[in-house]
Structure 1
Amino acid sequence: MAKKDETLQMLKDLTDAKGIPGNEKEARDVMKQYLEPYADEVYSDNLGSLIGKKIGDKKGPKIMVAGHLDEVGFMVTRIDDKGFVYFQTVGGWWSQVMLAQRVTLMTKEGELTGVIGSKPPHILSPEARKKPVEIKDMFIDIGASSKEEAKEFGVRPGDSVVPYFEFTQMKNDKMLLAKAWDNRIGCAIAIEVLKQLKKEKHPNIVYGVGTVQEEVGLRGARTSAHAINPDIAFGVDVGIAGDTPGVSEKEALSKMGDGPQIILYDASMISHKGVRDFVVDTADENEIPYQFDSLAAGGTDSGSIHLSHNGVPALSITVATRYIHSHAAMLHRDDFENAVRLIVEVIKKLDHNAVENITFN
């Protein structure tokens, strides 16, 4: 009998979990289940971010490794008289990836399947076919015949609406297709870092964190960083893969499988030079592949963490991912594993002297 791939099962469980900003409980419960065996203590802040604490040296510096639990999705705003459901986007969406896609409504009566409605091409004028449908005009069909029936199904304003997609290992089994890689892969990195440190000596206290509400303003990163007060922080997230047709090197440089991305700059922060140099040197020493990237727009949890307390030296380490902020995204397993390996090697060297040298680099 083939040995069960426990890491692959964790990745499936994390991405299958449903959790848009403000309703991350299901994803948090899955992360907690996988984090608890490797943490000395697991707790949450008052917004719902999950924090796993692993003590190497109880007098050592505090190192925070943070992925975010939430995924982009929608929220029910109203139901019309015919039973069609209207919604607000929660997180950033491009209208062209939304029509005719299956979704799951999280109602008080349980999960409910819906589909974002679309017009068949037969009734569209040539002009209409060229014009994108605006998000404000979209609706979800849940198969209800009236507002009353929709309410009987348990639907009400404020309910979460989550993209539906089944985790899929591609024919090239390094390629993994799933919803919510943004950012359950960051949560998986935080779990796996603590797992690999379980039997290692490390001169610090490590916090593996699953933050809430990243997609709507890096909010859980702020509260969890306040709870931890870290000395050094790593935001772990997805980045943009530029290796598909139609994407130029000016838009995105990185390629799947070429190693984790070290983010130099994004709209939320300039990476800390001392941390960046320390990580790059560690990667070179251990022959771990990596690639540099910068983003003119967007940001990661590092953007909030580095501004907490009196400032936290921080760096974002990301996994190049195709098709993010849609129903299905793809990444390369080697990039995930090399991101974990790199962060573990960095943490093993982060004693007080290293942190002091980094801080004033």
Structure 2
Amino acid sequence: MLSSFSAGSSVDVNVEDLIALCSVPGVSGREENVRNEISKLLRVENGQLKTDKIGNLLYEKFGTENHKEILIMAHMDEIGFYITSVREDGKLEVRNVGGIIEDAIQGSFVEIITRGGVIPGVIGAVPPHLKADGVNFDKVIDVGAKSKDEVLKLGIDVMDYAVFKKHYAILNNDYIAMRSLDDRFGCYTLVECSRGFSNKSKVVFAWTVQEEVGLRGAKALATNYSPDVAIAVDSFACCSKQNRHIELGKGPVIRALDNSSISDVEYVRYMISIAKDNGIPIQIGATGGGNDASVFVEKGVPMIALSVPVRYLHSQVEMISLTDLWNLIRLLKKFLEVY
């Protein structure tokens, strides 16, 4: 049993809950199973839990003063595939959902999520023996069916979806590697920050949909909420040329700049001061991609994006430090206690 994993003398992360969240399939537009898993983990203590029309899960938790409102978001969706057609030879043609690494697709185990359950499949690869003969890679899912009729009898149809089969590993007593840590570590963070302590302001914890295809869930939230500050908890791709200084194990990251927004400088400074006052290591970096909080800037709402460094982002072996995750939760809780 992994339940309470200690990566250090005082680090306490419920790895079983994190793995459970990562294990649930849920591509953009089909986050219902993830939403159900998060709902099981939540303890509604002082507020209300609801799901909006687009599928965002919202926990509005009242604070001790409620003079301000904070919106904190993490997205539930993951990259994967939609089944777009079934060929006569029994192969499934697919369309990517989100930023799939094409070089990592070949030779993968996948799971197709249907109305009736989960069907295993594979995305094949071209052996070196055949490449010399000019055989090209065919990006289709093979479920062992010989015909379209066999596929339909298995219960698979167009617009079912597929995800990479999930495996995990605990590495060197501090790191976890697993598909869909982006952004299930963020979902886990919000769960942990929603319980067990008193927040000062009203906090809206939002587990959003369709982030990977254009921040759709967050845009829907922006029509209903005008918080004093919007916070996104999402991945930070480390180890790039511009981020050689960002390392796993050296603390959570303030995602100060990305392709969608610039974090508000005053809130960046405030987070840094909270981190320093509480002995929490902190890193600051710029990255690509976008984040859910960015959509609130156009409403005049200051935003900040927080993360942990993620190695091998958008691959089947995404990796984070459990110590970084624990420190991110500490940082957010300290912020919620005083803001």
Distance, in Å, in 2 between the alignment partners of 1:236 and 1:2 is 24
**Where does 1:74-89 land on structure 2 (aligned, <5 Å)?**
74-89=81-96
Of residues 11, 14, 23, the one that matches 1:7 is 14
Aligned residues of 2:187 and 2:207 also touching (Cα < 8 A):
yes
Q: Please say if 1:24 is aligned against 2:31.
A: yes
SS in structure 2 of the partner of residue 306 of structure 1: helix
**Where does 1:86-101 land on structure 2 (aligned, <5 Å)?**
86-101=93-108
Of residues 284, 287, 297, the one that matches 1:306 is 297
TM-superposition CA deviations, 1:120-149 (whole Å, max 9, x none)? 111112887xx9x5xxx4111011110110
Displacement of 1:345 in angstroms is: 1.2
Counterpart residue number, 2:201:
204
Q: Which moved more, 1:298-307 or 1:211-220?
A: 298-307
Distance, in Å, in 1 between the alignment partners of 2:332 and 2:37 is 22
SS in structure 2 of the partner of residue 42 of structure 1: strand
Distance change (3 Å), C-alpha of 1:298 and 1:39 = farther
Amino acid at match of 1:43: K
Displacement of 1:100 in angstroms is: 0.9
Aligned residues of 2:310 and 2:319 also touching (Cα < 8 A):
yes
Displacement of 1:153 in angstroms is: 0.9
Amino acid at match of 1:260: P
Displacement of 1:282 in angstroms is: 1.3
TM-superposition CA deviations, 1:162-192 (whole Å, max 9, x none)? 111223322x221111110010011111111
Residues paired across the two proteins, number:
332
Counterpart residue number, 2:249:
257
Aligned residues of 2:2 and 2:16 also touching (Cα < 8 A):
no
Counterpart residue number, 1:355:
none
Gaps of at least 5 residues in structure 2 are: 6-12
Distance, in Å, in 1 between the alignment partners of 2:26 and 2:36 is 10
Percent of aligned pairs sharing the same letter: 30
Of residues 212, 215, 226, the one that matches 1:215 is 212
SS in structure 2 of the partner of residue 337 of structure 1: helix
SS in structure 2 of the partner of residue 348 of structure 1: helix
Displacement of 1:199 in angstroms is: 3.2
SS in structure 2 of the partner of residue 282 of structure 1: helix
Displacement of 1:330 in angstroms is: 0.9
Displacement of 1:225 in angstroms is: 3.7
Distance, in Å, in 2 between the alignment partners of 1:98 and 1:205 is 43
Distance change (3 Å), C-alpha of 1:348 and 1:25 = same
RMSD over aligned CA atoms reads: 2.0
Amino acid at match of 1:257: G
Distance, in Å, in 1 between the alignment partners of 2:243 and 2:254 is 16
Distance change (3 Å), C-alpha of 1:29 and 1:150 = same
Amino acid at match of 1:188: Y
Counterpart residue number, 2:229:
232
Counterpart residue number, 1:140:
141
Gaps of at least 5 residues in structure 1 are: 351-361
Aligned residues of 1:14 and 1:31 also touching (Cα < 8 A):
yes
Displacement of 1:58 in angstroms is: 5.7
Distance, in Å, in 2 between the alignment partners of 1:152 and 1:231 is 53
Distance, in Å, in 2 between the alignment partners of 1:326 and 1:343 is 27
TM-score normalised to structure 1 length: 0.87
